[in-house]
Structure 1
Amino acid sequence: MSRFLLSEFIYERYSDRLDRAVSDASVRRGLDIQFEFIPEDGSRLDTDILPEIIGGYFSTDIRENDLGRPFFGAVTRSENLEWLHVAHAGTDDPVFQSLFERGVKISNSSGSAAEPIALTAFAAILALDRGLPQFAKAQREKEWVPRTPAETPRDLRGQTMLIYGLGAIGEKIAKFATAVGMRVVGIKRSYPGASAAGVIHKWAPPEHFLDLLPSCDWLVVTAPLTTETHGLVSDEVMSQLPRGAFVVNVARGAMLDEAALLTHLRSGQIGGAYLDVTQEEPLPSSSDLWHAPNLILTPHDSSPSSGNAERADEYFLSDFDRWARGLPLEREVTDR
């Protein structure tokens, strides 16, 4: 017998589809699969069960119910694990790296929160472009401070946005930017597919990143954290942007040099920034980022939306059906 680890909530919600896929696994792969539920009280699974676990789904409800530790404690000790699906996008945690090294296939629900993240990022872009942080400061201080003629903002229409990472999030942001008349340049390893048609004006591979910086007004980072993207937005990168350019990071804190960003915000080289992620989370109260000029901060919270969990589950169910039939996974993670 083989076992698949998931929550009882997920099984009850999708039992018909899961059971049908298990029947396919029996016919097509000769697998006798039984579902194993992660204990809701956080207790450990019986060690006798662990060698039988060949797959698992780390769903949103497991994370929200603080059952991540027992779940990953089980899968990391399951010596015959062959596949793990996670409901979120990021797989840069060391626990995933250890599974990759064991040859475990990992897939994710990247894109399930793409629209809310993109909406949050673009709300920050609009706020920075229209000077809302300054008006918010004036409101707190009960000051009526209209803009002077010299402070009149540029039209957003016609400005250039450089998006590093044209995945689901990057494409959504590109659509919003194109809708208001911005010119969008996308950085991606391979030429973007049909989904990016009409939303980007130019594509370039990562090796041309530095060449594009002097002509972009907005640098938006949405790529996953990998060995190649660690420290991506460096002091050198921010120095090569036009004076007054803006930086947006909704990817990972380790991809941006925070000390350099502070220096450039204070000097005006960077006109403003939005960070949903920081190198240390929670951000310490002693961090200078709290007081940086024209910086919008959110606590790694750009993604929540009521439909995310169901979208994540649909991605899992699609790949569960393929896995049960012995077909290649559609959402397997290849960037590490």
Structure 2
Amino acid sequence: MVHTKTTFKAFRVEEENEKFISAIKEMPFEALEEGEILIKVHYSSLNYKDALSASGNKGVTRNFPHTPGIDAVGTVVSSKSAQFNINEKVIVTSYDLGMNTNGGFAEYVKVPENWVVKLPEGLSIKEAMIIGTAGLTAGMSVLRLTETVKPTDGTIVVSGATGGVGSVSVMILKKLGYKVAAITGKETEKQYLLDLGATEVILRKDFEELQNRPLLKPLFAGAIDTVGGVILENMIKSVHPLGIVTACGNAGSIKLELTVFPFILRGVSLIGIDSQNYPMDYREQVWNKLANEWKLDNLESNATTISLAELSKKLNLMLTGNLKGRTVLKLV
């Protein structure tokens, strides 16, 4: 497959009179530099960073006009890389894609070879984007946690459980035989979380209102936190001795108000998960697990597929916390 077009469609965000406006525009192709590849994008997916970029958040994207989209999967149509050949199916997630480099909300994307993973056997192109950065982050969190904590050790608690990272974490843990307690701020989503595989659902306000003490009753063998703040504090205080807590988000707060007691008296480990710049060998390991022993049976049921024309509306819903599960953008 070699492209012969001169332009392609992209979701562009522009700054006009201190306001940010989005529209679908025709964009010209740029020449490939050494070590770059051009991918015909089949699917992208929606992430919170994409919603921030599309709203003009300068902490995510400094310069506009810009094409958001931190995820992309598709077919190589042109290559100046010895690692990737034309017609190979590939995945690109995170690094600088969609932040200050034009991203996956476009029919084509140009990227450096060291951002790219070959699509593993056992995973379809669409499934790769239902997983996306959110699922990859979930997989990284599960990998680090399960290196130490076993299903027989007790329940794993997951915060932000209706979101992209949280929902995939719940599904993977269920697949691996763990009992999962899902934390959510949405009382109406209890059945959704039970259907995903949670064995119990905890309301966020109840978890946040636990006593403000240096240590709490040990309730969980481990934890996956996606929000930060008081939720993460209480997770750390309430895991068993030698428990593992992974942290990948800070929407709740960037601050932690803790003593060292959980770490010294209980030997709790706090592991940060930075999916943006995570080492490639870990990425490949997680993608291969997601395509094989971690392969989820109900991926499609946790995803909504949209077109470019629907993208702006869905991004606004994500900003207000009203999007659940995974949303996949179809470009082919």
Q: So what's the TM-score if we normalise by structure 1?
A: 0.45
Q: As a proportion of its length, which structure holds more helix?
A: 1
Q: So what's the TM-score if we normalise by structure 2?
A: 0.46
Larger Rg over CA atoms = 1
